[in-house]
Amino acid sequence: MSNPYELPDAPSDIISSVQFSPDGSRILVGSWDQRVSIYSKQDGGTFSLQHRFLSQAPVLHVCWDDQGKNIFWVGLDSDVRKLEVRDDSTSSQQVILSSHEEASNKVAFSAQHGILLSTSWDGTMHVHNPHTGAFVRIRLAAKPFALSLSSARAVVAMAERKVAVYDLIALKQLLEQNGGTTSDQTIHEVQPWQERESSLKFMTRAIECMPDGEGFATSSIEGRVGVEWFDPDFNNDNKYAFKCHRQTTKTVDQDGAEKDVDIVYPVNALAFHPVHGTFATGGGDGVVALWDAKTKRRVRQYQKLGASVAAMDFSPDGRSLVVGISPGFEDGSEDEEVDRSLIRVVVREFAEGEAKARAAK
């Protein structure tokens, strides 16, 4: 892998979300300074700032539609917002597709079904038709922490170790049959396609579906990653969890004796390689590592990036990885002003086969 290339004009506050456009030519970034930024690829292969839009509150998550023509984002203002992106310097007006009762923390677009999903700390998920503006409200079993879509499923990781898997066709049918506007306050009770308990004991930080649609990976604040499959029988025999993003340091106890202490960092971000099926983890230790889900082995680990890894995404061709880096407050400095020099968006280019799984020994 080449050295990471740092994007210019980084946001001024903590980065919450990054995503490549469907053709890989642009990068969408959401941040706590209430900005949504779009970086465009130049002739030399580097990225420069193309657009920056102001929202009404800190932005918690962003995504593209399947054509790269519209962007969506959610944040602390509870609104689900849509904006048409134009090639010139002009932009369309922001459209509010729906409003949750509390902050909306995740948003995801299904290219296969043309629907947009958003989750909120109010314990609901909204399913939208972003073209007509119709949407439905669905009650979740607990407060949601993470959301990811495969071609057929939506996976929501929640509090109390709850994980719900929804069938996207069923959600689209519910929207077509009951979709209304903001005047309709009905919250639908929908039975998930699957309900399961997370294999991780502590709070989920990220979830990501496998490119082949067969399963997903989750990560937690306790420096662990779990890998699961949708097929119950296969999952029972093959699911597993492992420790990562930890380091050992020396300390002295009350008696003056030196001992090892394991420092555990949250695993904030996950990203599956779209071609090889390996996946990257990004931690509060500032490290990005690559893993093979099938052989349960680490493929490689890269040098620290200077601050906590907040978000990641592979380009559609798998040749690049965008990483959002921000102070993660793992050192207990939540009340201090954010060091802007630590806020960066970097792109790593992968050599041919670099992200490919190694043969099992």
Domain extent listing, the chain: 63-312
Asked if 37 and 62 count as a contact pair (C-beta separation under 8 A), the reply is no
Share of the chain above pLDDT 90, in %: 76
pLDDT at residue 331 above 60? Answer: no
Nearest CA to 156 out of 112, 189, 125, 111 is that of 125
Supply the pLDDT for residue 360.
Answer: 61
> For domain 63-312, which architecture applies?
7 Propeller (2.130)
pLDDT at residue 65 above 50? Answer: yes
- Report the SS3 class of residue 310: strand
Going by pLDDT thresholds of 50, 70 and 90, the confidence category of residue 1 is: very low
| Range from 249-253, 302-306, 311-315 carrying the lowest mean pLDDT | 249-253
State the maximum Cα–Cα separation within the chain, in Å, rounded to a whole number: 69
Checking DSSP bridges between strand 135-139 and strand 187-188, what pairing results, if any? parallel
d(C-alpha 102, C-alpha 78), whole Å: 5
* Arithmetic mean of pLDDT, 16-37: 97
Q: 311 CB contacts (<8 Å, ≥6 apart)?
A: 15, 16, 17, 18, 268, 269, 282, 323, 324
- Round the average pLDDT of the chain to a whole number and report it: 92
| Range from 112-126, 181-195, 209-223 carrying the lowest mean pLDDT | 181-195
* Arithmetic mean of pLDDT, 242-264: 82
pLDDT digits (tens, 9 = 90+) for 126-185: 999 999 999 999 999 999 999 999 999 999 999 999 999 999 999 999 999 987 766 678
- Report the SS3 class of residue 235: helix
What is this structure's pTM?
A: 0.92
Asked if 200 and 218 count as a contact pair (C-beta separation under 8 A), the reply is yes
pLDDT top residue among 5 and 87: 5
Instruction: Identify the H or E element spanning 89.
Output: none
pLDDT at residue 97 above 60? Answer: yes
pLDDT at residue 238 above 50? Answer: yes
